[in-house]
Structure 1
Amino acid sequence: MKQLFIVIFSLIAFSIRVDAQPEKSGTILFESTFDPAILTAANGIKLSSEAAARMPKSSVNNFELKFDQLHASYKQKDGSQKGGRYNGLGVFGGGFSRDYYYNFQDHKLIQAFALNDTLFLMEDKMGLLPEMKFGTGQVVPVIEYIKTDEVKQILGFTCHQVIAKTTVKHQIIGVEKEITEEVTLWYTDELGFSFSPNPVLWTQGAVLAIESKGTHIEAKNIHYKDIKAEDVDLPENGILISQEQLHIKLDLRRKLTRLSRNGSWN
């Protein structure tokens, strides 16, 4: 009888432990807001009433992270755009809109984007600036990550604060000046995978919020469910491209734009 009781108790304990395990697949909805007026004010720029009236209004976009145990995809939700065309990627994420595909097992990140009506796939790395150049005359920023003791809850997950301090040198009226910006990241290790709405800004875990001047990206809800393979697999019609090849294409496009505007390559 005693042995039977031990067996029953062990089965109950095992059942409780299994039920307590975190879910392994689902979707996380992110909301990205961008307010150019706040950005302008934060940079100490004073605008006339006429200029302020012409400034674009704030924009709100929703992005969705779909994940399972091995893969994930991060894309803008169709029809979610309100008030502007900001792509939600914040620092170093400008330009064309991109989707991101994660392979947790192989620690790979692929970004997918359309350029000249062609879908390209390019391998990327989290927490690192792109290897490609930022453009003629532009200097690559330096990023320093500073971990703090601050924590807060997002969707029930304990998130830790990291300050990303970016520094870049610019020539302003012939004088070199160092410009520093700070971006706040909130990440959690409780989801069991690595992710960031902006892969450049990442140190560890899953980043659930990014805060900077005029920009706020935060996870708003999580829904555990089965995910279809086609939702997280790479597009079959994508063409692989390296960062150097992309730089060449973008540089050529810039030159063609200048040529059409003023008849000169320079």
Structure 2
Amino acid sequence: MKKILIAFVGLLTLTLTAQAQKKSGAIQFETTIDPAAMAAANGIKLSDEMIARMPKSSKLSFELLYTPTNASYMPVEETEDSNGGGGGGGMARMMMRFGGGGGAREYFYTFADQKLVEVFDLNDTTYAMASKLTVALPTPPAMGRQGQQQGGATTPAPEATSAVVFLPGPPTLEVVKTDETKKIIGLNCNKVIVKSIRKAKVLGMDKDVVDETAVWYTNDLGFNFSPNPNLWTEGTVLAIENKGNSTVAKSIEYRNVSTKDVTAPKKAVAITADEYKAKMEAMMKRFSGGNRQGGGPGGNVRSVIIN
């Protein structure tokens, strides 16, 4: 009996230790962008010459670091490791700090009070802006992504034409829960669909254009997060899927994470959403063409369904 009790205590200790270890770690995300598919999804007709000049697809890497109390999400890039470290064929991962990706943002989460801070560079100044996880229209990012439309789609060249002309006014957003489930990086995930319904002229006819984005989330990790803060309903979002643009978690490593890696930089200057909007509007007035801006990391163009 004593031996059984000792064995039970030992097993319980191992279980609790394993659970504690899962409270911190790193999740690698990959964003895949197909420009031609994104254009087609937005009703933009491209010439064969334009399609031939476009890259088939491009991929960006991001990393989510989390502890029991905080998390950070930012771009990373592969760099040569002269010492052969990193275990990846001489490659090592390096954080692209403070918008090193040309307007890219870093996101810092505090779980206790559900706070989210976006950190980005603008005019050689690092700003920190309070935000939140929600389902909403994307807000423009820091400058550096000229020639993009809402969601990150490249503005078509003069020879490109669009069969869809959107009418003035914001779209209607709708969240549809589904019964679909699947495992992503070994975690149980549920699927919701975020619909954006806009009025448009399609070949001269009035139509409702419905953009759909599939969002996969898990409650196994015990905290709230999304690669795109404007595409979140609950839990930890591990995949955002749509035509031409998707962000998916590729791997997870349970390990200790330094507090400084999940804490927003103190040197960042606080800015409100209204102040940021005013700065962006002033900057846009100085640029001809009035190009609209895309979403932040994981910003998505949704697939188009014409009813």
How far the C-alpha of 1:14 sits from its partner, in A, is: 2.2
Corresponding residue SS for 1:213: coil
Once residues 283 and 72 of structure 2 are traced to their aligned partners in structure 1, the CA distance between those partners, rounded to angstroms, is: 29
Equivalent in 252, 259, 267 of residue 229 of structure 1? 259
Match of 1:117 among 121, 124, 130: 124
Letter in 1 for 2:193: I
Q: Is the 8 A contact 2:62 2:76 kept in 1?
A: yes
Match of 2:104 in 1: 97
Q: Between the two proteins, what is the percent identity of the paired residues?
A: 41
Match of 2:15 in 1: 17
1:117–1:170 CA distance, 2 compared to 1 (3 A): farther
- Residue 141 of structure 1 corresponds to 171
1:254 partnered with 2:284: yes
One-letter code aligned to 2:62: F
What TM-score do the two structures reach when normalised by structure 1?
0.81
Residue in 1 that maps onto 2:64: 65
Distance 1:132 1:145 in 2: 19
Q: Which amino acid aligns with 2:115?
A: K
Deviation of residue 254 (structure 1)? Answer: 0.9
Measure how far apart 1:169 and its partner are.
Answer: 3.4
In the alignment, what sits opposite 2:73? 74
Secondary structure in structure 2 of the residue aligned to 1:258: coil
Which residue, 220, 230, 247 being the options, matches 2:250?
A: 220
Q: Is the 8 A contact 1:24 1:68 kept in 2?
A: yes
Please say if residues 132 and 244 of structure 1, whose CA atoms lie closer than 8 Å, have aligned partners that are also in contact: no
Matched residues in 1 for 2:18 and 2:266: separation?
37
One-letter amino acid of the counterpart of residue 12, structure 1: G
Q: Residues 170 and 246 (structure 1 numbering): CA distance in 2 closer, same or farther, change over 3 Å?
A: farther
Q: Which residue of 2 aligns with 1:196?
A: 226
CA contact (8 A) 1:185 1:210 kept: yes
Q: Displacement of 1:171 after TM fit? A: 7.0
Give the C-alpha shift of residue 56 in structure 1.
Answer: 4.6
Q: Aligned pairs, how many?
A: 243
Asked if the contact 1:67/1:73 (under 8 Å) is kept, the reply is: yes
Cα offsets for 1:219-251 (capped at 9, x unmatched): 011111111122111111101111110110000
Q: Which residue of the other structure, out of 164, 174, 186, is the alignment partner of 1:156?
A: 186
Give per-residue Cα distances to partners, 1:137-176, cap 9 Å, x unaligned. Answer: 9643332111111111111101111111112335789986
Look up the match of 1:87: none
Q: Counterpart of 1:183?
A: 213
Query: Structure with the greater relative contact order (CA < 8 A, sep ≥ 6): 1 or 2?
Result: 2
Taking the aligned partners of 1:198 and 1:131, their CA distance within structure 2 comes to: 9
1:129: which partner in 2? 136
Provide Cα deviations, 1:76-108, integer angstroms capped at 9, x if missing partner: 00358xxxxxxxxxxxxxx93111000011110
Separation in 1, partners of 2:128, 2:266? 10
Mapped contact 1:100–1:109 kept (Cα < 8 A): yes
Mark the CA change 1:41 to 1:129 in structure 2 (over 3 Å): closer, same or farther.
closer
Is the 2:67–2:259 Cα contact (8 Å) retained in structure 1?
Answer: no
Q: Could you tell me whether the CA contact under 8 Å between 1:132 and 1:243 is conserved in 2?
A: no
Matches within 5 A, 1:1-12: 2=1, 4-5=2-3, 7-12=5-10
- Pick from 240, 247, 271 the counterpart of residue 210 of structure 1: 240
Q: Measure how far apart 1:60 and its partner are.
A: 0.5
**Alpha carbons of structure 1 residues 245 and 12: separation in structure 2 relative to 1, 3 Å:** same
Distance (whole Å) between structure 2 residues aligned to residue 232 and residue 130 of structure 1: 26
Q: Letter of the aligned partner of 1:113 in structure 2?
A: F
Residue identity in the other structure for 2:111: F
For 1:9 and 1:241, the matched residues in 2 are separated by 56
Equivalent position amino acid for 1:15 in 2? T
Which residues of structure 1 form unaligned runs of 5+?
Answer: 81-94, 260-266
Residue identity in the other structure for 1:249: K
* Superposed CA RMSD: 2.9
Match of 1:86 in 2: none
Which residue of structure 2 aligns with residue 29 of structure 1?
Answer: 28
Q: Which one-letter code corresponds to 1:54 in the other structure?
A: R
